[in-house]
Amino acid sequence: MLEMLLGLLLQWYTALAQPELSPSIATSTATVVRVLDGDTVEVELGNRRERVRYIGIDTPEPYAGTAPECFASEASAANRELVANREVQLVADAEDRDDYNRLLRYVYVDGVFVNAELMRGGFATALPVKPNTRHASYFFDLETKAREEPRGLWSACR
C-alpha cells in the first residue's frame, strides 16, 4: 500500500514539475535539421527552414570571441542529444521573433520540455525576456536546483 501511495505521489509530482503541452496552446510541428548551439536550432517547418531560439534560457556561447565559453560544447552536445534529427513541437509565447528574426519557442520532443531539460542538467541559465515569461519562475527553480547540486556548468565553470 505504501509503495502504491509513493508511486502515485511521484506521478503527481512529476506532472507538476514539468509543464505539459496544453491543447489550448497553439503548437507547430517541425523537424530539427541542425543544432547550432545549446539554445538554437534550425528546423524544417512546412516547406521552409527557420532558426529557432529557445525561450527563457541561455546556454554558454560556442562563438564567444576566440574561444568558446565554459561548458558551451557540453550544452550544444546535450541539445543535440535531445533534438537532432527529431520531430519537435514548437510553442510560442507573447512574441514571435527576436531581433535576429529567429522564431522564439518553447520546444518539446516526445512530451519532454527541452528548455527545462537543459536547465535541469545545468546546461543553461534562466533568461527571462519580457513579454516571453510564461515559464520564468519554473526555469529559475530549475536553475537554483542545478546550482545547489551542483550540476553541469555550476560544477565545471567556477
Nearest to 50 by CA among 106, 102, 90: 102
Please say whether the dihedral angle defined by the alpha carbons of residues 157, 33, 18 and 97, taken in this order, is positive or negative. positive
Nearest to 72 by CA among 19, 142, 125, 138: 125
Count other C-beta atoms under 10 Å from residue 120's C-beta. Answer: 21
Q: Which positions are annotated as active-site residues? A: 53, 61, 102
Q: Cα separation of 134 and 130, whole Å?
A: 9
Q: Cα separation of 132 and 96, whole Å?
A: 9
**Neighbouring residues of 35: CB distance < 8 A, sequence distance ≥ 6:** 41, 42, 76, 79, 80, 83, 84
